[in-house]
Amino acid sequence: MSDLEDRLAAVEKRLGELEDERRIRELLSRYGYYADACLDDEYLALFTEDGAMDVSRGGTDDPYAVLRWEGREAMRTFLTDRTAAHGDGFAGRSLHLQGNNLTVTVRGDTAVAAGYSFIFHQDGSRLRLLSASTNEWRLVKADGEWRIAVRKRRMLGAPDTAEVLTSTERA
């Protein structure tokens, strides 16, 4: 292979990686939009069929206790029961912000993203912070589309916070 062909192959590889990273960032943005609008079908479509949510509980006696929903039906139950405090008045009055300080490592058809997330909720004239957490997103690419395989979310102060934030280094 000539030097020019080597360089072109390297540029094409890097362009593919950048496009994958852009698509992953878009996916995480849609995650927030769909959650805020309570668009459950669109939200669920962001996950693989066997996708999972692995989250620390938050505002309970043990905020670091972990709850897990795995598979499409369990995820639908999570949304239907509004276990994550998505009760009445959630649609149009919440703001999911994820992807803050986001790192993304793509390795072929798998990727890991890590960063912070916040959930705000408008209660009348008052804006409340409902959640501040660290996140690890395990993603897979199938048929050219990125999907979430596992979202791991931990409330600030959780024992495995550092592990979650450095997950892309172990991807």
Largest CA distance in the chain: 66
Which stretches within the chain are classed as H helix? 3-36, 40-44, 72-80, 161-165
Buried b (16+ CB within 10 A) or exposed e, 95-116: bbebbeebebbbeeeebbbbbb
Q: How many domains does the chain have?
A: 1
pLDDT band at 16; cut points 50, 70, 90: very high
Q: Is residue 21's pLDDT more than 90?
A: yes
Quick one: pLDDT band at residue 62, thresholds 50, 70, 90? confident
List the domain range (segments joined by +) for residue 155: 3-170
- Per-residue pLDDT band at 93 (split at 50, 70, 90): confident
Q: What angle do CA 139, 141, 144 make, to 5 degrees?
A: 150
At 81, the pLDDT band (50, 70, 90 cuts) reads low
Q: What is the CATH number of the domain that holds 44?
A: 3.10.450.50
